[in-house]
């Protein structure tokens, strides 16, 4: 290798001042720089800044057209060993895009690529997404489109759009049916009851667990309370039925031990919502607590130190440090819960129903299933379901709005 060449290379690398670079820039690049100057004169401040930075970039690139190198998704020519951000600290995605619009794209040396070219380079990513997107469209959006049968008199032969349009008839049928208020009442009782009990229970468990310093006891409680999460709904309901049965269950033994008559709990309508809600607490408390425990682990330990110095009691620490610490997580989950308030788990309620308790156990979702699928009354039950979904959506939006106004914590 000739000595001169190496020296020259070293020389170039060392002379990074702008003037020396400009001398060596080829004519095409220089032309471009001139064009940029015009833009700088006419454009606003942002464009000026962008143009200035791009000018530097152009000068740099025209100096050393080396192997292709990607910077922020844009293919450029540059020193691969040096990041642009170290040369031009303030350069960012926005400015580069701006400059591209100004007309630098024609420059052969700096090939700022358009969206189409970027897609072509990453075609594999778009290929990956196709199948899942097809799934989303087929199993989520086609049913959404099909929800219009709520406004039609659906016949299976004619399909979603071919059936006769009947407007709001199905809805008015539902509102005028004798079941309407009963369904709304049952659904609301069960869901509000759940929200009041099932929602705060894991918070209390997490706060209590957080007080425990004995790691082994803490872990045991956590493991055990988590386990029921894995029990399926069918098994859960059959456990409830077994335990509460007047003949077999241990609950009955306790009742007898207390000197009372055997009670057929599942047959008494008034007990239904309590059985449903408290068994949900039993099954979900450990799972729900995990989230809050994570939030509590993230609380700044300095706060506890400070509280100790100030002489706060344990209970005061819980009240003034722990609870504010889990508030953001709690509010997000509360919003999500309220958004589901009309969706009281179909699976469990349906399994828990028996002829004796339907007066309090019939809720909207079970009604939809019975009327729609078992009774093949598609349009009517689709209308009931749609009504339910819309109420949920409105509640979700409303709660999110209030949460944002009051506490700065919201989904969006």
Partner 1 sequence: MNKPVAVKESMGDKLFLFLVYAFLLFILIIVLYPLIYIVSSSFSSPQAVISGRVWLFPVEPSLAGYKAIFSNPQILTGYANSLFYTFFGVLINVSMTVMLAYPLSKSTFLGRNFIMVILVITMMFSGGLIPYYLTVKMLGILDTRWAMLLPGALAVWQVIIARTFFQSTIPKELGEAAELDGCSDFGFLWRIVLPLSKPILAVLVLLYAVGHWNAYFDALIFLKSQELFPLQIILRNILILNSIDASMMVDANQMAAMQGLRDLLKFSLIVVATVPVLAIYPFVQKYFVQGIMIGSLKG
Subset of 173-232 contacting partner 1 (CB under 8 A): 205, 208-209, 211-213, 217, 220-221, 223-228, 230-232
User: Does the protein bind partner 1 through residue 112 (CB under 8 A)?
Assistant: no
Calculate the alpha carbon distances from 194 to 63, 258, 280, 344 in Å: 70, 29, 8, 9
Please give the backbone phi and psi of residue 111, each rounded to the nearest 5 degrees, phi first. Answer: -95, 85
Nearer to partner 1, 242 or 268 (CB): 242
The 10 Å Cβ neighbour count of residue 404 is 15
What is the rounded CA–CA span in Å between residue 368 and residue 373?
8
User: Does the protein bind partner 1 through residue 294 (CB under 8 A)?
Assistant: yes
Closest CA to 335 of 283, 260, 408: 408
User: Does the protein bind partner 1 through residue 244 (CB under 8 A)?
Assistant: no
User: Does the protein bind partner 1 through residue 365 (CB under 8 A)?
Assistant: yes
User: Does the protein bind partner 1 through residue 320 (CB under 8 A)?
Assistant: no
Calculate the alpha carbon distances from 187 to 200, 222, 265, 377 in Å: 20, 32, 20, 21
Cα atoms found within 13 Å of the Cα of residue 57, Cβ hemisphere only: 33
Q: At what angle do helices 45-63 and 27-42 cross, to 10 degrees?
A: 170
Site for partner 1 in 274-293 (CB under 8 A): 282, 285-287, 290-291
User: Does the protein bind partner 1 through residue 247 (CB under 8 A)?
Assistant: yes
User: Does the protein bind partner 1 through residue 322 (CB under 8 A)?
Assistant: no
Q: How far is CA 22 from the centre of its chain?
A: 51
Calculate the alpha carbon distances from 407 to 125, 207, 399 in Å: 39, 21, 11
The DSSP letter of residue 230 is G
Binding-site member from 333, 337, 358, 391 for partner 1 (CB under 8 A): 333
- Look at the block and give the residue holding tokens 């303030």: 90
Q: Where does this chain touch partner 1 (CB under 8 A) — which range of 37-45, 50-58, 84-92, 380-388?
A: 380-388
Site for partner 1 in 26-85 (CB under 8 A): 69-70, 73, 80
Q: How far is CA 170 from the centre of its chain?
A: 33
Q: Where does this chain touch partner 1 (CB under 8 A) — which range of 39-47, 99-107, 128-136, 172-180?
A: 128-136
Nearer to partner 1, 156 or 167 (CB): 156
User: In angstroms, what is the minimal distance from the CB of 273 to partner 1?
Assistant: 19
What is the rounded CA–CA span in Å between residue 382 and residue 171?
9
Nearer to partner 1, 171 or 369 (CB): 369
User: In angstroms, what is the minimal distance from the CB of 372 to partner 1?
Assistant: 5
User: In angstroms, what is the minimal distance from the CB of 366 to partner 1?
Assistant: 11
Start-to-end CA span in the chain (Å): 62
Binding-site member from 10, 46, 94, 142 for partner 1 (CB under 8 A): 142
Q: Where does this chain touch partner 1 (CB under 8 A) — which range of 24-32, 45-53, 99-107, 369-377?
A: 369-377
Binding-site member from 65, 92, 103, 159 for partner 1 (CB under 8 A): 159
Nearer to partner 1, 26 or 80 (CB): 80
User: Does the protein bind partner 1 through residue 331 (CB under 8 A)?
Assistant: no
């Amino acid at each position: 290798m000739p000595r001169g060449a190496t020296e020259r290379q070293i020389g170039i690398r060392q002379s990074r001042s702008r003037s020396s670079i400009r001398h060596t820039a080829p004519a095409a690049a220089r032309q471009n720089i001139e064009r940029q100057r015009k833009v700088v004169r006419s454009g606003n401040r942002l464009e000026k800044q962008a143009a200035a930075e791009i000018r530097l970039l152009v000068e740099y690139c025209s100096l050393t057209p080396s192997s292709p190198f990607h910077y922020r998704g844009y293919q450029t020519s540059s020193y691969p060993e040096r990041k642009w951000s170290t040369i031009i600290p303030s350069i960012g995605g926005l400015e580069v895009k701006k400059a591209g619009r100004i007309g630098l794209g024609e420059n052969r040396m700096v090939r700022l690529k358009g969206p189409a070219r970027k897609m072509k380079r990453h075609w594999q990513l778009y290929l990956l997404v196709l199948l899942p997107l097809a799934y989303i469209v087929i199993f989520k959006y086609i049913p959404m489109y099909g929800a219009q049968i709520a406004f039609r008199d659906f016949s299976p032969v004619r399909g979603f759009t071919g059936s006769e349009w009947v407007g709001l008839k199905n809805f008015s049928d539902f509102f005028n049916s004798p079941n309407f208020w009963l369904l709304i009442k049952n659904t609301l009782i069960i869901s509000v009851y759940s929200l009041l009990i099932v929602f705060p229970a894991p918070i209390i468990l997490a706060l209590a667990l957080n007080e425990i310093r004995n790691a082994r006891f803490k872990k045991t409680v956590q493991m055990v309370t988590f386990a029921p999460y894995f029990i399926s709904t069918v098994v859960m309901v059959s456990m409830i039925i077994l335990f509460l049965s007047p003949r077999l269950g241990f609950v009955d033994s306790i009742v007898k031990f207390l000197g009372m008559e055997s009670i057929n709990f599942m047959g008494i309508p008034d007990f239904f919502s309590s059985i449903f809600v408290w068994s949900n607490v039993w099954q979900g408390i450990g799972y729900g607590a995990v989230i809050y425990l994570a939030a509590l682990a993230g609380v700044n330990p300095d706060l506890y130190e400070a509280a100790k110095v100030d002489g706060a009691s344990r209970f005061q620490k819980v009240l003034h440090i722990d609870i504010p610490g889990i508030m953001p997580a709690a509010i997000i989950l509360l919003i999500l819960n309220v958004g589901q308030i009309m969706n009281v788990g179909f699976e469990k309620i349906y399994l828990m129903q028996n002829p004796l308790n339907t007066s309090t156990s019939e809720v909207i979702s079970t009604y939809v299933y019975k009327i729609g699928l078992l009774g093949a009354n598609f349009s009517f039950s689709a209308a009931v379901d749609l009504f339910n979904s819309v109420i949920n959506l409105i509640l979700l939006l409303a709660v999110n709005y209030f949460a944002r106004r009051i506490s700065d914590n919201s989904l969006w």
